[in-house]
């Protein structure tokens, strides 16, 4: 048991220590969704409408930035020595994903500080629910980042993926327009977009309008997506690799 | 301690390793010498359990690297050519994380960290962030890290590449100590002749094939007498080599504007050859055979 928990715990801790030592990263991740949110929100005179979307974007940026390091890390970095250690791959995957998810969670929580700007008040009881919700969303997005990054040979490919997959996913998730207002086929896309359920879950937790699908459905879909991604990450990392650069 | 048998690896159509066989005994320092692209990195990756070879087998401390990777990983410490330290962490934090990956913790881990840092002389830098360390110190941290789980075998990939001569000498002193004091078996890949010369046993790799094997002195003894190197006045040394062969009945190899001749009593040959081809030779050198000469003799190509 020790040989499973210890590697996972040490990787989780490593993510946090690294993050703490690069404080500019916190600003970088929170700042751009914040600016985005303020511009769109003040521009359309409805900050609350875009709040959940901006929060998810913050968490998504954080998750993506911290999983992107896997690509370089595997060829030149800490991941190399993990790959030749006897620690189970699944334990490494869990440590990495939990670590990155915690970072996304911290930044999401920081973003909550701006909620009053949108006239959103959060009671202490709600804060607990929100903290759990943000962690779940962060965990899911980190899992997604991991699955995408593990197969990648270079970070440039990841940027393309960011623009072609992740950003569009975010746009049709209810972050910018509610499902009710969407055109027919976009609505269909929104139904199958897992991120839709994250946004809806946050809207429920923040008692904001436009919270469709329902709270329970959103919770189940988000959690199921997260667990599926975790399992996929574990399986991918455990597979024996015959790939080599030289 | 390490046995490699008929190892072959292909990347698609390209053959990276072809039928490589060798054996390393306990406590030996063993070198894989070859230029870039000779297959030594592929061989290293197979031994480090990072990839499975197309054919053949390799065992370390009795465990098959493909079928029992976990057992091999417990017996082997790996030092990579590229950095495997986390630059944002301190020396101590890197070592602790590595210990955790090997299931070490508490007093055992602390004691192992102390002894590894003492062995590599990095105790006073324990609180420093890795990004503030010089290349030589980082290498030492890498080795300390690879030693935490007390491996019987240390695999080092081009460990001295990029180090200045002083750091390189320091590194080989530490490696030698590991062997003599702790009985660790060391396998290293290198393209640096000086480093290869300090190994107990060597194999020379060229384009994925083993071209020679033996101790450095045995290998050098394969070349009888002296090596004479003539710098041709022309950029193309081929015509001069042909003329020398015709005139003296010796084997003369042309490479990079030079003609190399292996011959007994080289000093006499020099006098004769300079007199025979006035104006065709710019400078002359004579030396005892080195590993580079062995490599050139076997492959017709240079190493570094």
Residue A244 inside a domain? The answer is no
Q: With an 8 Å Cβ cutoff, are B102 and A85 in contact?
A: yes
Question: What percent of chain A has pLDDT above 70?
Answer: 97
What is the arithmetic mean of pLDDT over A17-38?
Answer: 82
Range B2-219 has CATH code 3.40.50.300: yes
Q: Is residue A29 part of a domain?
A: yes
Q: Is the pLDDT of residue B72 over 50?
A: yes
Determine whether the interchain pair B101/A242 forms a contact, defined as Cβ–Cβ distance below 8 Å.
no
Residue at A245 is within a domain? no
Split at pLDDT 50, 70, 90, the class of A246 is very low
Residues with Cβ within 8 Å of A234's Cβ and at least 6 positions away in sequence, in order, are A89, A90, A93, A94
Q: How far apart are CA B40 and CA B32, in angstroms?
A: 6
A1 pLDDT tier (thresholds 50, 70, 90): low
Residue A26 has pLDDT above 80, yes or no: no
Domain span at residue A230 reads: 2-238
Q: Say yes or no: A23 contacts chain B, CB-CB below 8 A.
A: no
pLDDT at A243: 43
Q: What is the mean pLDDT of chain B?
A: 87
Inter-chain residue contact A10 with B100, CB threshold 8 Å: yes
Q: Where in chain B is the domain with CATH 3.30.70.260?
A: 224-288
CB A211 within 8 A of CB A204: yes
Give the per-residue pLDDT at A171: 92
Question: How much of chain B, in percent, has pLDDT values that exceed 70?
Answer: 99
Write the pLDDT tens digit of every residue in B196-209. Answer: 888 899 998 888 88
- Mean pLDDT, to the nearest integer, of B228-257? 85
B90 vs A: CB within 8 A: no
Complex-level ipTM beyond the 0.90 threshold: no
Element (H, E) at B221: helix B216-221
Q: What is the pLDDT of residue A245?
A: 34
pLDDT of residue B165: 82
Residue A190 has pLDDT above 90, yes or no: yes
**CA–CA separation, B260 and B293 (whole Å):** 9
Domain B224-288 sits in CATH 3.30.70.260: yes
Instruction: Please state, in angstroms and rounded to a whole number, the distance separating the CA atoms of residues A1 and A235.
Output: 20
Q: What is the mean pLDDT of residues B191-195?
A: 83
pLDDT of residue A56: 93
The tens digit of pLDDT for each residue in B106-151 reads 899 999 999 889 888 889 999 999 999 988 889 889 989 998 988 9
CB-CB under 8 Å, A21 with B88? yes
Q: Which of B16, B43, B79, B84 to mutate to test the interface with A (most CBs of A within 10 A)?
A: B84
Dihedral-angle region of residue B12 (phi above 0 means left; psi in -120 to 50 means alpha; beta otherwise): left
The segment(s) of chain B belonging to CATH 3.40.50.300 are 2-219
pLDDT of residue A192: 92
With respect to residue A228, please indicate whether it lies within any of the assigned structural domains: yes
User: What mean pLDDT is reported for chain A?
Assistant: 86
Q: Is there a domain that residue A17 lies in?
A: yes
Chain B residue with the nearest C-alpha to that of A77: B84
For residue A242, is pLDDT > 70?
A: no
**Beta-carbon separation of A14 and B97 below 8 A:** yes
* Cβ-based contacts of B73 with chain A (< 8 Å): 84-86
Whether B93 sits inside 8 A of A77 (CB atoms) is no
For residue A244, name the pLDDT band (cuts at 50, 70, 90). Answer: very low
Q: Could you give the number of structural domains in chain A?
A: 1
Question: By the CB < 8 Å criterion, does A25 face chain B?
Answer: no
């Amino acid at each position: 048991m020790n040989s499973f928990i210890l590697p996972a715990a040490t990787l989780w801790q490593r993510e946090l220590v690294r993050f703490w030592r690069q404080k500019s990263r916190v600003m970088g991740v929170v700042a751009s969704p914040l600016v985005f949110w303020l511009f769109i929100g003040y521009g359309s005179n409805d900050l609350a409408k875009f709040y959940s979307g901006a929060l998810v974007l913050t968490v998504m940026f954080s998750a993506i930035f911290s999983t992107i390091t896997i690509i370089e890390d595997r060829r030149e970095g800490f991941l190399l020595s993990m790959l030749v250690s006897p620690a189970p791959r699944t334990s490494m995957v869990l440590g990495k994903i939990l670590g990155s998810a915690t970072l996304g969670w911290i930044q999401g929580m920081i973003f909550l500080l701006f909620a009053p700007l949108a006239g959103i008040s959060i009671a202490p009881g709600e804060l607990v629910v929100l903290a759990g919700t943000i962690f779940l969303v962060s965990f899911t997005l980190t899992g997604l980042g991991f699955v995408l990054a593990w197969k990648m040979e270079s970070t440039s490919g990841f940027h393309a993926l960011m623009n072609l997959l992740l950003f569009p996913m975010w746009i049709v998730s209810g972050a910018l327009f509610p499902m009710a207002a969407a055109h027919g086929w976009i609505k269909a896309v929104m139904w199958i977009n897992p991120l839709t359920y994250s946004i809806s879950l946050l809207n429920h937790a923040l008692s904001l309008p436009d919270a469709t699908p329902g709270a329970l459905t959103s919770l189940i879909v988000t959690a199921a997506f997260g667990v599926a991604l975790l399992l996929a990450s574990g399986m991918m990392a455990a597979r024996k690799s015959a790939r080599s650069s030289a | 301690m390490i046995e490699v048998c008929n190892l072959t690896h292909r990347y698609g159509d390209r053959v990276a390793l072809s039928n490589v066989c060798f054996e390393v005994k306990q406590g030996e320092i063993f070198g894989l010498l070859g230029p870039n692209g000779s297959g030594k990195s592929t061989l290293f990756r197979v031994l480090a359990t990072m990839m499975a070879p197309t054919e053949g087998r390799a065992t370390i401390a009795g465990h098959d690297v493909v079928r029992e990777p976990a057992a091999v990983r417990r017996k082997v410490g790996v030092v990579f050519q590229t950095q495997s330290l986390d630059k944002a962490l301190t020396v101590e934090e890197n070592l602790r994380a590595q210990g955790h990956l090997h299931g070490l913790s508490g007093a055992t881990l602390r004691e192992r960290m102390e002894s590894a840092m003492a062995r590599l002389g990095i105790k006073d830098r324990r609180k420093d962030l890795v990004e503030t360390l010089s290349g030589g110190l980082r290498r030492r941290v890498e080795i300390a890290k690879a030693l935490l789980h007390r491996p019987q075998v240390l695999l080092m990939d081009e460990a001295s590449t990029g180090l200045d001569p002083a750091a390189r000498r320091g590194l080989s002193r530490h490696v030698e100590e590991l062997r003599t004091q702790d009985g660790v078996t060391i396998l290293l890949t290198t393209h640096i002749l000086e480093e290869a010369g300090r190994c107990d046993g060597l194999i020379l790799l060229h384009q994925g094939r083993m071209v020679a094997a033996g101790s450095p002195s045995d290998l050098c003894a394969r070349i009888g007498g002296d090596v004479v190197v003539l710098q041709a006045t022309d950029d193309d040394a081929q015509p001069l080599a042909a003329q020398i062969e015709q005139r003296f009945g010796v084997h003369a190899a042309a490479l990079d504007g030079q003609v190399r001749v292996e011959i007994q009593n080289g000093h006499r040959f020099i006098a004769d050859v300079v007199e025979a081809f006035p104006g065709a030779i710019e400078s002359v050198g004579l030396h005892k055979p080195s590993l580079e000469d062995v490599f050139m003799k076997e492959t017709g190509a240079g190493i570094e």
